[in-house]
Amino acid sequence: MAAVNLEFLEQLINASASNDVMQRTLADIEFNAPANVAIYTPEVCLRLSKFLKYFNNNLLKNIEISANQERIRTGEPLPKGVIEGIPDDFKQDKLSISAYFRIFCTYDPIAVNHNGHTRVVTLNAAGNPQAPQTQTIPQFIQYFFTGSQFQINDALEYIIDAEALDNTVYDKYAMPVILFTANAGDNIGNVVLGPSGSLNKFDVNGVLVTGASPYVYAGSYDYNNLTQVAISNKRKLTGGTDVKELKTKYSFPNFLLGEMLFKVHGTEEAKYVFKFYDDKNSMEFWIKLYPGTWFPYDSSKYVFPSGYNLVERADGIIMYYNTVTQTLESNFPLGSYYILPPGGDLTTVINFTNKYRVIQREVALAAAQVLPSNMSDPNIQRMLQLVAYMTNLRAIKASFIPPIIPGGGGGKKKTKRTNIIKYMAKSKKKHYK
């Protein structure tokens, strides 16, 4: 093709040519064509290289921040990943829960792009881009859970940290592993959500009973957790046959929300959230503010391994901070359990709220399309966890009065952080129990 100069940059700035035209212009450049080689000499390329590196390191971030303001104003979709162009109100250390979510739903990509008003580019089953169209949360769930691998990957790009080496999920989107049992046979429709609730999940020797629901599914996270519970309990067994105490211990239910756990008597419900991390990504992860930072659960009902503290994320999901490794984990640590005496009322230990039941129902519909033997597959887990996350977000948006209107206004998965935890450095005595 003919020689191509850089006049198109001026055209782009002056809006005398569209983005599509500019992209086609760049795509058509044959860099090694004789006419272009005469322009892009090694000397010119060196100058361009230095400029592009400076541009990327010093200008691109600010351009993206400003560009996001225009995307939000015009209803264009936001780039997947971290929030760009956060307003000053979001830079405070503490916000009311309602203020936080109104800002989140205005600036977070996963909330904005699936609000039913923003027009987003999706893929067809063959992986080809489709014309931009609006997408609600239910439509997004349908898109990726019944879609092709191209569509699944497109959806998961929202939650997977592109800069992480192990494809971990951003802390703000992370959901716990989804526990299950299974009806007899490895058939579609046999998945039963939730851990084993059987009083007889241990035999007379304290060994787990595996098999069809309600017994434990072999090799599942529930199985691994209860195995650790049994190991920790061995010292209390008499002659290896007294399992009365062991039978009172159960794995926690799925999608554990702070509102499902009983708190220390006298604890008031959180009214504010604050930034958990004190680094450049601090705006990406907020937790509910309780006295002492950690979630104040009733330790007479719930037991967690030593070295773990609970936090309640802004959206209500419980997460676990390992004080030894300084990692934040979305799965309850192995060896965790709640206590329910034989014949006891489960509602005195776990509060199965309406929000939980909605999440449970939506994930159950999705899990009904999965073979029990595939339930522990990391990709299946991520898809189900994304269903749970989006359903929870939808319920939160609808819970505010007035509701948060679309468009704003108004595995053991670990994610390691080596930065300083906000407030903790000020007073370890205050925050570590």
| Structure letter (DSSP) for residue 206 | S
Q: The tokens of 406 are what? A: 């679309």
Q: How confident is the model at residue 269 (pLDDT cuts 50, 70, 90)?
A: very high
Q: Is the pLDDT of residue 6 over 70?
A: no
pLDDT at 87 (0 to 100): 65
Closest CA to 257 of 308, 305, 310: 310
Q: pLDDT of 99-118, one tens digit each?
A: 999 888 888 899 999 999 89
Q: Would you place residue 159 in the very low, low, confident or very high pLDDT band (cuts 50, 70, 90)?
A: very high
Residue 183 has pLDDT above 70, yes or no: yes
Q: Is the pLDDT of residue 348 over 90?
A: yes
In the sheet that 308-312 helps form, which strands lie side by side, from edge to edge?
A: 308-312, 318-322, 327-329, 414-416
pLDDT at 29: 61
Query: In this structure, what token pair is assigned to residue 132?
Result: 């931009």
Residue 361 pLDDT > 90: yes
Task: Give dist(CA 198, CA 393) in Å, integer.
Answer: 31
Tell me how far apart the alpha carbons of residues 317 and 8 are, in angstroms, rounded to a whole number. 48
pLDDT over 70, % of the chain: 75
Q: What is the pTM of this model?
A: 0.80
Paired tokens of 217 = 């599914």
In the DSSP assignment, the letter for residue 419 is S
Average pLDDT, the chain: 83
Mean pLDDT (whole number) for 339-350: 94
4: confidence class by pLDDT, cuts 50, 70, 90: very low
Question: Where do the domains of the chain lie?
Answer: 7-74, 180-195+252-431
Helices first, then strands: H and E counts in the chain? 13, 14
Report the alpha-carbon distance of residue 155 to residue 339 in Å, rounded: 38
Helices 97-107 and 378-399: crossing angle, nearest 10°? 120
Pairing of strands 318-322, 94-96: unpaired
Q: Is residue 82 over pLDDT 90? A: no
pLDDT at 75: 66
pLDDT(14) > 90:
no
- pLDDT at residue 32, rounded to an integer: 64
pLDDT of residue 107: 85
pLDDT of residue 147: 92
Asked if residue 98 lies in contact with residue 141, where contact means CB atoms within 8 angstroms, the answer is no
Summarised one tens digit per residue, pLDDT across range 202-250 is: 998 889 999 999 999 999 999 999 999 998 877 655 555 468 889 999 9
Q: Which DSSP letter does residue 346 get?
A: G
Q: How confident is residue 168, by pLDDT bands cut at 50, 70 and 90?
A: confident
